[in-house]
């Protein structure tokens, strides 16, 4: 693995996903742990997997933990059920789960606004037996438009992500072109042009996509990038992806946004999972 100074350059700011790293700690201790590891930017899946509308005191406590640690929440998922796991997303699921997503939209957006978060990720739901795909897609578009409007009110982008078919066989967005098709549909429906592609290189690699082609083609519509090595979803250097090449190619394609570290730390504590980054200073300067 090349040192960080050679991996994408200083245009990239790395952010730690506190829903997959530092999970050996309680949620409210994770921002301080990330700060102690040298990071100022963090991101989260929706932390309350069974509560799209958590008690205000829990939102206040998370806000205080972020502030006390000196960390910025730069990315947040809308309610998406229990992650990681086979139940991916909620917004295209008829009935209760879709209603839970809709109840969460303004709550998540308001919390994001209160901490300066400018990227909100909305995960599609799995295909449901007995429900026509077109019916689910129409529901998804309505709910994504709702989310995009909420994001626009706080000056944020709405992210649409492709997952991988091996781990999420019933999830309908398992390629970059399919996710970008949804991004385009949301922008056409709202006229806001604030929906963007979340380019997760791990999921795309698991799907067997040509990552060079994805980067070259879709960087202009990309709002966020996440990384983990493949296979295994570990830190860069634990699998077969060449991150010096991939992140350098992102820079060449004009990407100047954040890179989310969304990988499993392995058997060691999460604080030991950043050795591949130690060759350069952190935090990186704002893009």
pTM of the model: 0.93
CB atoms within 10 A of CB 205: 22
Whether 7 shows a pLDDT value over 90: the answer reads no
Distance CA 122, CA 124 (A): 7
In the DSSP assignment, the letter for residue 177 is H
Q: What is the pLDDT of residue 136?
A: 97
The residues, ordered by sequence, that sit 6+ positions from 192 with a Cβ below 8 Å of its Cβ are: 148, 149, 152
Distance CA 273, CA 275 (A): 6
Could you report the per-residue pLDDT of 41-94, keeping only the tens digit for each? 999 999 999 999 999 999 999 999 999 999 999 999 999 987 666 567 899 999
Q: What mean pLDDT is reported for the chain?
A: 92
Q: How far apart are the first and last CA of the chain?
A: 24
Whether 198 shows a pLDDT value over 90: the answer reads yes
Could you report the per-residue pLDDT of 107-153, keeping only the tens digit for each? 999 999 999 999 999 999 999 999 999 999 999 999 999 999 999 99
Q: What is the pLDDT of residue 65?
A: 98
Q: Is residue 172 within 8 Å of residue 124, measured between CB atoms?
A: yes
Distance CA 246, CA 190 (A): 33
CA dihedral 179, 184, 186, 189 (to 10 degrees): -150
Is domain 4-277 given the CATH code 3.20.20.150 in the classification? yes
Catalytic residues: 161, 262
């Amino acid at each position: 693995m090349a040192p960080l100074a050679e991996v994408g350059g200083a245009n990239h700011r790395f952010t730690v996903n506190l829903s997959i790293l530092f999970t050996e700690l309680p949620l409210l201790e994770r921002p301080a742990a990330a700060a102690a590891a040298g990071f100022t930017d963090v991101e989260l899946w929706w932390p309350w997997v069974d509560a799209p509308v958590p008690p205000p005191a829990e939102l206040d406590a998370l806000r205080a933990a972020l502030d006390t640690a000196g960390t910025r929440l730069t990315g947040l998922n809308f309610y998406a059920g229990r992650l990681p796991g086979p139940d991916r997303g909620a917004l295209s699921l008829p009935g209760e789960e879709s209603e839970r997503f809709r109840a969460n939209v303004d709550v998540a957006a308001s919390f994001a606004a209160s901490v300066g978060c400018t990227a909100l990720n909305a995960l599609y739901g799995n295909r449901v037996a007995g429900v026509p795909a077109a019916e689910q897609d129409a529901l998804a578009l309505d709910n994504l438009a709702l989310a995009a409007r909420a994001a626009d009110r706080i000056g944020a982008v709405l992210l649409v992500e492709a997952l991988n078919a091996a781990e999420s066989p019933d999830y309908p967005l398992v390629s970059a072109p399919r996710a970008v098709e949804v991004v385009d549909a949301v922008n056409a429906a709202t006229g806001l042009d604030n929906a963007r592609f979340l380019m997760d290189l791990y999921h795309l690699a698991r799907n067997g996509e040509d990552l060079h082609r994805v980067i070259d083609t879709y960087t202009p519509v990309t709002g966020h990038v996440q990384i983990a090595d493949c296979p295994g979803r570990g830190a860069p250097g634990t699998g077969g992806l060449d991150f010096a090449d991939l992140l350098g190619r992102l820079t060449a394609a004009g990407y100047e946004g954040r890179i989310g570290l969304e990988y499993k730390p392995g058997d060691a504590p999460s604080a030991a999972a950043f050795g591949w980054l130690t060759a350069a200073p952190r935090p990186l300067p704002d893009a």
